[in-house]
Structure 1
Amino acid sequence: MAEPLDDGPFFHGTTADLKVGDLLTPGFPSNYRPEVTMNHIYFTALRDGAGLAAELAVDLADGEAEPRVYQVEPTGEFENDPNVTDKKFPGNPTRSFRSTEPLRIVAEVLDWTRLTPEALQMWRERLVAIRTERAEIIN
């Protein structure tokens, strides 16, 4: 039996208003390239990493939704996120993962660190650059 990639806990950032027990599934637009429908559901073992994803997801909702972070548990196998693992960072320092299986909501996390307006603007500019460069998403 393979060693677990990470013991968690795991987190997912989104604008969706979910309840404990709900399932997150693949098949939704990427936070980074909204024209791409994702074949995987992404998550991280870093609470504030999920917070970043949640805040960037607000842009997809035209600023109308609240960013939310949920503690999740994978319902099946998962792998290191190849979009960051070894492609951009050696190993997996972002503790980012993906799965084709749903993630179950365990709890909403309220004590995550919000980005400053300046930091959020920096990330938005980085995303515009990625979209302009047509950087590949490994899907």
Structure 2
Amino acid sequence: MKLFTPVFRLTTILCLILLMGCDEDKNFEELAPYRTYTALLNQQDEDAPVATVLENTLNITIEWSRTSRGKYLGTLSQPVDINKSTLWVSTPPTHAVMRIRFNSPTEIYLEAGQGVNFHTDTYSNVSLELKVYK
């Protein structure tokens, strides 16, 4: 017996549509279990990082500042529930380490470097993602 017959595929597709509650008035943002802020960060020399926002269903802004070599603070325009949030940052080929964490519900700490206590500046197209789950 063939498992993936046309009837099986059609039944599976219909079940998925029903499970997702597909409604013409609903979009992915309403169905997703989280809201997100996604951006690409670029930083040069002693300047603050600059974000190119790719998606922002959280409707927040993040103001970046450079505190010292390879250390940056992002101040959120409104607080997030850090107990329901995840932060992720990519590591560019120019760096060995990128670390990110919440300092508070309105502040993100970002660190860039080549190893322990060896912080460095200047990176491009570093992906940053903040997700806040419902």
Q: Which of the pair has the greater relative contact order for Cα pairs under 8 Å at 6+ separation? A: 1
Shorter-chain TM-score: what band?
A: under 0.3
TM-score normalised to structure 1 length: 0.21
Task: Select the structure of larger CA radius of gyration.
Answer: 2
